[in-house]
Amino acid sequence: MKFYLLLVFALPLYSWTNHFLGTYLALKESPELANAKPIKVESFQSFVNKQASELEKVLDSIEEEAKQIVPNYPPRPDSLRFHSTKKENQVVGVLRALRLNPESKLKLFVQEMPGTKRKEKKLGATEVSVYKEDKFLDTLPMFEIKEGSTVTPLQVIATASDEPDYGHDINIWEDSDSEFGKEYKFGILPFGNPKYHYATQAPFHMGFYHEAGIIYTLAPDFKRTYPEIRIHQFTRLAEFAFSKGHDYWGYRFLGWAMHYLEDLTQPYHSTLTPGISTSGALWIEFKSILGFKSGKKEALERLSDRHTAIEHYQYEFLKELLEKGNLSHPMVKSYQEVSLDTKYPSFDFGYPRNVIAFESNQKAEELDERIGKSNYVMAFKEPLVDKTTLQEDEGKEKVNEFLNQLMNSFGSHARNFARYFINKKFTQKT
Ligand SMILES: [Zn+2]
């Protein structure tokens, strides 16, 4: 039954608009990373060439383990298995075995703080992403780096934490506009419109784990949200890369996994209809089936406007602070509250669902309410809003206070995750 499904939007979905800035600010305060020695840059091709036969085993064990630990896991068809002895495009072979978009660029690059200039080539959307065009990605300070050059682990992990939004999970469904989507057997897109390519990544970047039981009964497709698949795959690959001395790929895989954790800190990514009770949402749906469409359209607009507004607003605000070098502002500092890290348990496979998504789900309603009370913040639902034309309001301060709490969580979860794997890497080696 396709009951309830249209309540989910078909808009560009970046979650936190940019992950690099948040990850960089959060991990800068983590001594394990801030003091880590620079590492040598290595291409994916060379990593795969050197480790092909071991990778074959690791990819098989990742698949077997996923079947055991990921709820509602759609098993990978055997035809997608990686064979180290097949000499044709092995990079694509690995991407297909992981059921990632095989057109992912995997370019060697670093992102930098706003306003940074480097002598290396500045890259645009078409060089780092699967998109034919993306004006937002074009604005980011991303620079090409060469194989064999050195880079810090912090730069690698922070850069990589933004990368899953460049197309890893685009068009991987049976009803997607791609050949590989038909082979991957993830089923049809659980919600949203398969024609909008951004919508096709949503079920991997959202985790609706804490909705009322009736939602899953009426619309079981909402159980099919899968950030845990990617977190599992990329953390296992990171451990493998570290154990074989490919530190660059160890940190890059960790950054990819971190992206999905960070997405779950966004209340609109852990909560289906913040600010609308389950019974209210079902009533809207029921009326629309009877032919009263306007209630549904309004609910949909309200949800997508607030979701978009908070992401754009937060990004623009933080970017401006960093451009002005205002590093002591509470918004910047909120990523760096190391003292809060210990209020959470240590990382394990259940942490993204039971700790991160649970916490952000609890915060969704209040966030939604505060956004709705600030015309200033709501203006950011439009792209590229001219801030000078906006009227300051009190509601904006209330949104800021709440955002600071969300960024406290973002920072703590990023550090707890990084700390767990980096400590493991050093204990493995000794
Ligand atoms: Zn994302």
Taking the centre of ligand 1 as the mean of its atom positions, its distance from the CA of residue 168, in whole angstroms, is: 10
> Quick check: 275 and 369 in contact, CB under 8 A?
yes
Taking the centre of ligand 1 as the mean of its atom positions, its distance from the CA of residue 266, in whole angstroms, is: 10
Domain map (residue ranges) of the chain: 5-429
pLDDT tens sequence across 151-208: 999 999 999 999 999 999 999 999 999 999 999 999 999 988 888 888 899 999 999 9
Mean pLDDT of all residues in 124-137: 92
Taking the centre of ligand 1 as the mean of its atom positions, its distance from the CA of residue 14, in whole angstroms, is: 5
% the chain with pLDDT above 90: 71
Is the confidence at residue 219, as pLDDT, over 90? no
Mean pLDDT of all residues in 130-146: 92
Strands 142-144 and 39-40 come out as: unpaired
Taking the centre of ligand 1 as the mean of its atom positions, its distance from the CA of residue 112, in whole angstroms, is: 19
Ion ligand 1 nearby residues (CB, 5 A): 15, 165, 205, 263
**Structure confidence at residue 101 (pLDDT):** 98
Taking the centre of ligand 1 as the mean of its atom positions, its distance from the CA of residue 43, in whole angstroms, is: 23
Q: How wide is the angle at C-alpha 239 spanned by C-alphas 236 and 241, nearest 5°?
A: 110
pLDDT tens sequence across 387-408: 888 999 999 999 999 999 999 9
pLDDT tens sequence across 24-67: 999 998 888 888 899 999 999 999 999 999 999 999 999 999 99
Taking the centre of ligand 1 as the mean of its atom positions, its distance from the CA of residue 326, in whole angstroms, is: 27
Of 235, 278, 292, 237, nearest to 259 by C-alpha is: 235
Mean pLDDT of all residues in 359-381: 94
**Structure confidence at residue 109 (pLDDT):** 98
Taking the centre of ligand 1 as the mean of its atom positions, its distance from the CA of residue 225, in whole angstroms, is: 13
pLDDT tens sequence across 57-108: 999 999 999 999 999 999 999 999 999 998 779 999 999 999 999 999 999 9
Question: In whole numbers, what is the pLDDT of the chain averaged over residues?
Answer: 90
Taking the centre of ligand 1 as the mean of its atom positions, its distance from the CA of residue 186, in whole angstroms, is: 18
pLDDT tens sequence across 227-236: 999 999 999 9
**Structure confidence at residue 13 (pLDDT):** 52
Taking the centre of ligand 1 as the mean of its atom positions, its distance from the CA of residue 288, in whole angstroms, is: 30
Of 150, 357, 337, 355, nearest to 248 by C-alpha is: 150
Taking the centre of ligand 1 as the mean of its atom positions, its distance from the CA of residue 132, in whole angstroms, is: 19
Type and span of the H or E element at 151 = strand 150-151
Cα(215)–Cα(278) distance, rounded to whole angstroms?
A: 8
Mean pLDDT of all residues in 315-343: 94
- Reduce the DSSP state of residue 109 to 3 states and report it: strand
Q: Output the pTM of the full model.
A: 0.93
Six-digit token pair at 207? 């985790």
More confident position, 78 or 11: 78
Cα(57)–Cα(286) distance, rounded to whole angstroms?
A: 50
> Quick check: 210 and 270 in contact, CB under 8 A?
yes
Strands 109-111 and 142-144 come out as: antiparallel
Cα(262)–Cα(270) distance, rounded to whole angstroms?
A: 11
**Structure confidence at residue 64 (pLDDT):** 98
**Structure confidence at residue 196 (pLDDT):** 84
Q: Identify the weakest region by mean pLDDT among 168-177, 255-264, 303-312.
A: 303-312
Taking the centre of ligand 1 as the mean of its atom positions, its distance from the CA of residue 318, in whole angstroms, is: 18
Taking the centre of ligand 1 as the mean of its atom positions, its distance from the CA of residue 203, in whole angstroms, is: 10
Taking the centre of ligand 1 as the mean of its atom positions, its distance from the CA of residue 202, in whole angstroms, is: 8
Is the confidence at residue 282, as pLDDT, over 80? no
Taking the centre of ligand 1 as the mean of its atom positions, its distance from the CA of residue 15, in whole angstroms, is: 5
